[in-house]
């Protein structure tokens, strides 16, 4: 089934304990669509970039089967830019600079040819834009998944709560789940958040794995312990792309299949952090992914 992803395509400048980069390609929708491309070839993008965005990167997306008909290019505009520095533990970071540029006036036009998409992934961006996309779908998708972050909880909580009510699946990290719910226990937080609308919730815990909640059902997938983590940027987006890419490819939204999707998402995220930016997830093979999934099976599987 077809997947539509809406979100940022951007420039990032990163500093981690292992090095720093000049402007490289980033953005939630970049990571999501690249990651999903290993699962589904019906992979449609809505985003906006400026005239400064390299055609070579668009070509890379296209070579991965991403449909860029919905990628708006504002020739006189500049691409969204984010700069950040990770602390030594790689779990926390400081934002050094944000330049919204063309994202400030982003009008997320959904091309007619995307209207039948059954899986909608709303990457992290302003809740008002995410809501607009849902309203512009003529047919309600089978599954609407939303990613967001603490920035929107601080600055646009009312808008965020409105759009959260409209989606099937929300994905946030553990601290954001605590902030959104007011509960410290993640189990309590999940109940509170599911009562806000989404039937399914994924709580990402970074190097500590991810939890999938649906009603009273609960599933956990660990993160793969890695010798080297170079750059966590985009790991959450890559996770989301693998997750919804698998769902779209199989067109099965049962809890059992979501568990598999969580493993695929985690496997994809484990690749993402091994190099700076999206480099690693531009260059994977199906054999790489299969082998990595086997590592998760060995890591987590036991017989009592």
Minimum distance of a second copy from residue 203's CB (angstroms): 9
Work out how close the CB of 34 gets to a second copy at its nearest, in angstroms, rounded to a whole number. 22
Give the whole-angstrom CA distance, residue 160 versus residue 292.
35
Sign of the alpha-carbon dihedral angle for 23, 25, 31, 34: negative
Residue 241 CB, shortest distance to a second copy, in Å, is: 18
Q: Return the number of the residue (165 or 208) whose C-beta is nearest a second copy.
A: 208
Give the footprint of a second copy on this chain (CB under 8 A). Answer: 88-89, 184-188, 205, 208-209, 211, 218-222, 225-229, 256, 259-260, 262-263, 293, 297-304
CB closer to a second copy out of 67 and 200: 200
Residue among 90 and 248 whose Cβ is closer to a second copy:
90
CB-based contact 190:201 (threshold 8 Å): yes
**Rounded distance between C-alpha atoms, residue 269 and residue 290, angstroms:** 14
- Which DSSP symbol is given to 230? -
Half-sphere exposure of 30 (CA within 13 A, CB side): 28
The residue among 87 and 165 lying less far from a second copy, judged by its C-beta, is 87
**DSSP labels, 76-140:** TS---EEEEEE-TTSS-EEEEEEE-GGGGG------GGGTT-SEEEE-SS-HHHHHHHHHH-SS-
CB of 264 to a second copy, least distance (A): 9
Residue 186 CB, nearest approach to a second copy (Å): 5
């Amino acid at each position: 089934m077809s997947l539509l992803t809406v979100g940022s395509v951007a420039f990032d400048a990163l500093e981690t304990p292992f090095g720093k980069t000049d402007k490289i390609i980033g953005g939630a929708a970049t990571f999501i669509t690249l990651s999903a491309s290993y699962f589904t070839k019906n992979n449609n993008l809505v985003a906006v970039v400026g005239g400064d965005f390299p055609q070579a990167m668009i070509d890379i997306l296209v070579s991965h089967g991403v449909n860029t008909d919905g990628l708006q290019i504002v020739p006189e505009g500049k691409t969204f830019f984010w700069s950040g520095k990770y602390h030594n533990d790689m779990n926390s970071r400081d934002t050094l600079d944000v330049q919204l540029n063309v994202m400030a006036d982003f009008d997320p036009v959904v091309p007619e040819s995307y209207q039948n998409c059954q899986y909608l992934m709303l990457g992290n961006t302003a809740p008002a834009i995410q809501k607009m996309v849902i309203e512009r779908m003529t047919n309600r998708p089978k599954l609407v998944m939303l990613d967001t972050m603490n920035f929107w909880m601080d600055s646009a909580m009312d808008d965020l709560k409105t759009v959260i009510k409209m989606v099937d699946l929300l994905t946030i990290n553990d601290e954001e789940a605590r902030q959104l719910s007011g509960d410290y226990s993640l189990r309590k937080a999940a109940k509170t958040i599911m009562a806000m609308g989404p039937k399914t919730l994924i709580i990402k815990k970074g190097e500590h794995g991810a939890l999938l909640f649906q009603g009273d059902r609960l599933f956990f997938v660990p993160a793969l312990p890695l010798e080297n983590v170079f750059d966590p940027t985009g790991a959450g987006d890559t996770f989301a792309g693998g997750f919804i890419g698998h769902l779209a490819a199989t067109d099965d939204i049962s809890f059992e299949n979501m568990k598999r999707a969580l493993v695929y998402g985690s496997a994809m995220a484990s690749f993402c952090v091994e190099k700076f930016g999206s480099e690693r997830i531009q260059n994977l093979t199906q054999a790489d992914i299969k082998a990595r999934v086997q590592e998760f099976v060995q890591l987590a599987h036991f017989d009592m």
